Amino acid sequence: MMSKWPEKVGILAIELIFPSQFVDQTELEVFDGVSSGKYTIGLGQSRMGFCSDREDINSLCLTVVSKLLERNKIAHSQIGRLEVGTETIIDKSKSVKSVLMQLFEPHGVTDLEGIDTTNACYGGTAALFNAINWIESSSWDGRLALVVCGDIAVYAKGSARPTGGAGAVAMLIGPNAPIVFDRGLRSSYMKHAYDFYKPDLSSEYPTVDGTLSIKCYLSALDKCYQLYREKYDKINPNAPTSISLNSFDAILFHTPFCKLVQKSLARLGFNDFLQTSPAKREQLYPGFERFAELKLEDTYFDRDVEKAFMTHYKDVFETKTKPSLLLANQVGNMYTPSVYSGLVSYLISGDASDLAGNNVALFSYGSGLASTFYSITLSDNVAHLRTVTDRLAHIKPMLEQRQKLSPEEFTTLMEIRAHNNHAAPYIPSGRTDVLFPGTFYLKSVDDMHRRVYERIPTDL
């Protein structure tokens, strides 16, 4: 039995994949007949990645796990726990984790704990915490954990469709990591709400209450941030100052669309404002006296508050949050991988020497609802941090290697997906020659709904 608690548990490696095809949001605005800038400025989105019927949640996860192990030269036998977070359900019983076992069985690895976790966009974070808890528990056998977050976000025609996307992230979790989760410092807010849900099991499309969804997201952010500060004060009773936006070098958010993240950063600033003593408010927030008596719960849609604090914190957003939005802007909402695509974007936003030692806050949200605010610390050893960042150098070039499809072609592929959802037997019609090297794809579905996958030769 191991007597010592493992130290510095966190991310040893991270891999991200996204679709090889995208639609341009400016062209989609014209195609949909909406005002210019509605998607690009109003939502903050430039491109949206999407999958044809050749890719499903199983193929995405098979691809990202294989690439992480290959790129980082990790033996399958080194993995002792495999957790999957997803809301893209293609089977009501068989887990994605069980499908991933076909990667491990040939290596004689079947003693592999973990299973799927589902709650909208939060499932990946729950899977991550499960993996961390396993390593920090008496159940840990010394091996590493692998966390997989993947989803295909598609919407019916209409105002929500431009907020789609797709992708998967795999994270290798273990001790002595270059990206460490701050122990004892995470705060959660869970509540019953019908803001976004998928009650129709025959369809990939969700039911969405847009206004309620924004309210739920912002209220969860308020509650989590407040509780995080309380926990920090309890752990650090002699700290000279309490938690504020100044405490972090970067703040990352679950990103349904980029504009909401800019508003969310300003929301945290509003929280800071309300917690600031009257004597300091005048100095730190000149001209903001009119907001002093407001209550958080009354201001979710207060445009005056929103505009004032977005303006006040514009520079903070540009330096601490915007660098994390590259993938969200270029690919769209990945659902469970969303906040972790933000982490990847941040890790490739500058040289490791500029990021080393940074303290990063993250907010994960899943409708229904579940949310957590937590923080990580990047190693101050540049060489150690490079073991992660250097293996992400392919991300930006891959974004430019994607194939752009017209809105008409995109719409046709979405109709094919919708029409053949759960079809059996079924042979997909999507092209395989446009897929990235190393991509698993759906070859066929037989009359018993059993899925067969093949793989494009890898370049790793």
Domain with 198, as residue range(s), is 10-455
For tokens 């359900």, what's the residue? 89
Q: In this structure, how many other beta carbons lie within 10 angstroms of the beta carbon of residue 63?
A: 26
pLDDT at 4: 76
Domain assignment present for 223 = yes
Domain assignment present for 2 = no
The one catalytic residue among 51, 254, 258, 306: 254
* Number of domains within the chain: 1
pLDDT at 1: 45
Starting at the earlier edge strand, list the strands of the sheet with 165-174.
116-117, 79-85, 144-153, 165-174, 10-17, 179-190, 370-378, 359-366, 250-253
Domain assignment present for 4 = no
Lookup: tokens for 73: 């030269």
* Residues contacting 196, CB < 8 A, separation 6+: 120, 206, 207, 208, 209, 213, 367, 368
Nearest-angstrom CA–CA distance, 145 and 114: 9
Task: Decide: helix, strand or coil at residue 358.
Answer: coil
Q: In this structure, how many other beta carbons lie within 10 angstroms of the beta carbon of residue 36?
A: 10
Q: Compute φ and ψ for 266, nearest 5 degrees.
A: -65, -35
Q: Which stretches of the chain drop beneath a pLDDT of 50?
A: 1
**CATH code (residue 333):** 3.40.47.10
Q: Is 121 a catalytic residue?
A: yes
Q: In this structure, how many other beta carbons lie within 10 angstroms of the beta carbon of residue 359?
A: 13
Domain assignment present for 460 = no
Domain assignment present for 50 = yes
The one catalytic residue among 121, 149, 216, 224: 121
Contact 56, 96 (CB under 8 A): no
Contact 86, 119 (CB under 8 A): no
- Kindly report the pTM of this predicted structure: 0.97
Contact 309, 265 (CB under 8 A): no
pLDDT 10s digits, 433-458: 999 999 999 999 999 999 999 999 99
Lookup: tokens for 319: 């330096």
Domain assignment present for 92 = yes
Starting at the earlier edge strand, list the strands of the sheet with 21-24.
47-50, 21-24, 403-405
The gap from C-alpha 80 to its chain's centroid, in whole angstroms, comes to: 23
The gap from C-alpha 70 to its chain's centroid, in whole angstroms, comes to: 22
Domain assignment present for 255 = yes
pLDDT at 405: 98
The one catalytic residue among 29, 87, 204, 306: 87
Give the side-chain half-sphere CA count within 13 A for 358: 22
Q: Angle between the 96-104 and 57-71 helix axes, to the nearest 10 degrees?
A: 40
Domain assignment present for 315 = yes
pLDDT at 369: 98
